[in-house]
Structure 1
């Protein structure tokens, strides 16, 4: 892999993993549109792309470090019989992580086959845009609750939304933000809960795939450098997005982008032969 392609894929991953536009979808579609051939059947491709998630997870841990320390303290306190808001949030995040983790392990091989057809990925990106556009139109006068007040059932429902993002083209952050809005979180809290909820599963995915690269030191070094670049891009992205959703930023804007991008990709692949 050339240095230029490594930088491109790493930065693309770091930005699109947190922006509600699907990181895997963009990583598969954008190179094809520019005539860059990625061997989607190569055994090392998926582990490399998933290993980049480690950079994103570390960036999220660093950005929300104060929050994570409080959550960890609350969790330990709850085990000792001292309930607290942060302890309740810790259990909510734990419960919310389970659905996507179980489904991802169960359907790992069938889901991998979806990566091989870029038309399916483009269609999923288009549908993702429609979902974001419809789900992101939140009324300003709605009553909201903080993430610490979510019930475990509500946290599980938000976590269940992550299952959709196992299909390349659907955005994990976008789906969980919409689900967070629907259970009563405002835009900022829904974004924060989405990023907190995504950190363990993003980290776990990277850790599980990384051993597949250990037999090739060159691939491992490439993945490590890519993870560093991805982490920098992800840290800048989460800073921007938290400020964006603190203001009047809406998911519907990202939905319009995904609709346009997905439609253009489908049109492009209809007129041009798909790379094998």
Structure 2
């Protein structure tokens, strides 16, 4: 029988995932730290942290279902739709290739609170630095992204393989640096999350299939649902927020949170 405390921990981590997946503050980093603090230590912890991200990604699929359906149905009829899919593929490839070859090494050596803390702080400074440069906006809508910008976003996404960097943070700021508006960079990041997280989830499920059982599937399912619901709320808020604000708030949050974590784990011993 499943432990009720474990179920509450699962719901909590699912909410953390949904709240942080699409903000430039690192969902993986928050999951690692929160799981450590609440002592969510099971044989499927790492798998859980990857798979529940799919719940958050499905929130994007639901909210952008009309655009996604339009992309699929017009891919071979409309040049703009076809070009957008090609640009998603261009941005998808770099991190996928690097992740495939270094997946085990990254998990073994970098999935820890100290790495997360430093990545949060450095990423925060990077966001503030980029925002202070006040870069020229050349592309207002995600659909109009160029192949060059897509490649820059894809290369930036490689950095997100380091826990604490943030996939959303890397891709959004990569987009901003390449001339995308904040809204366009965020929406392209949302769409890009769909193939990259589906691939990562299926790969992890395949690699960890031997440790899955009824109880672990229930744990993952509960986290999945709570991530889906909380992500829907956050995505709607985030798009409204960045329409009139920059990303500096998230940069300062990362620095503060990362510093607090370093202090916590230093005194924890």
TM-score by length of 1: 0.88
- Displacement of 1:116 after TM fit? 4.8
- 2:177 is aligned, of 178, 182, 190, to 182
Match of 1:221, SS state, is: helix
Q: Corresponding residue for 1:227?
A: 224
Q: Corresponding residue for 1:3?
A: 7
Structure 1 residue 102 and structure 2 residue 124: aligned? no
Return the alpha-carbon distance in structure 2 between the equivalents of residues 140 and 172 of structure 1. Answer: 21
- Report if aligned partners of 2:48, 2:220 keep a CA contact under 8 Å in 1: yes
1:174-200: CA deviation from partner (whole Å, max 9, x where unpaired): 111111112221111111111111111
Structure 1 residue 240 and structure 2 residue 237: aligned? yes
- Report if aligned partners of 1:103, 1:163 keep a CA contact under 8 Å in 2: yes
Return the alpha-carbon distance in structure 1 between the equivalents of residues 200 and 14 of structure 2. Answer: 16
Return the alpha-carbon distance in structure 2 between the equivalents of residues 204 and 76 of structure 1. Answer: 24
- Displacement of 1:136 after TM fit? 3.0
Q: Corresponding residue for 2:46?
A: 46
- Report if aligned partners of 1:53, 1:202 keep a CA contact under 8 Å in 2: yes
Return the alpha-carbon distance in structure 1 between the equivalents of residues 131 and 75 of structure 2. Answer: 32
Match of 2:76, SS state, is: helix
TM-score by length of 2: 0.91
Distance verdict in 2 for CA 1:44–1:141, change over 3 Å? closer
Q: Corresponding residue for 1:257?
A: 253
Return the alpha-carbon distance in structure 1 between the equivalents of residues 133 and 166 of structure 2. Answer: 18
1:61-100: CA deviation from partner (whole Å, max 9, x where unpaired): 01111111222233233xxxxx521211111011111111
Q: Describe how 1:189-228 pairs up with structure 2 within 5 A.
A: 189-211=184-206, 212-213=208-209, 215-228=212-225
| Stretches of 4+ aligned residues off by more than 6 angstroms | none
- Displacement of 1:209 after TM fit? 2.0
Gaps of at least 5 residues in structure 2 are none
Return the alpha-carbon distance in structure 2 between the equivalents of residues 114 and 30 of structure 1. Answer: 19
- Displacement of 1:147 after TM fit? 2.9
Return the alpha-carbon distance in structure 1 between the equivalents of residues 39 and 190 of structure 2. Answer: 31
Distance verdict in 2 for CA 1:180–1:255, change over 3 Å? same
Root-mean-square deviation (CA, aligned residues, Å) is 1.9
- Report if aligned partners of 2:57, 2:197 keep a CA contact under 8 Å in 1: yes
- Displacement of 1:117 after TM fit? 3.3
Return the alpha-carbon distance in structure 2 between the equivalents of residues 142 and 208 of structure 1. Answer: 36
- Report if aligned partners of 2:139, 2:145 keep a CA contact under 8 Å in 1: no
Distance verdict in 2 for CA 1:196–1:230, change over 3 Å? same
1:118-167: CA deviation from partner (whole Å, max 9, x where unpaired): 21221111111111111234638744443333332321211111111111
Alignment coverage as a number of residue pairs? 263
- Displacement of 1:262 after TM fit? 0.5
Structure 1 residue 63 and structure 2 residue 67: aligned? no
Gaps of at least 5 residues in structure 1 are 78-82
Return the alpha-carbon distance in structure 2 between the equivalents of residues 161 and 169 of structure 1. Answer: 14
- Report if aligned partners of 1:123, 1:262 keep a CA contact under 8 Å in 2: yes
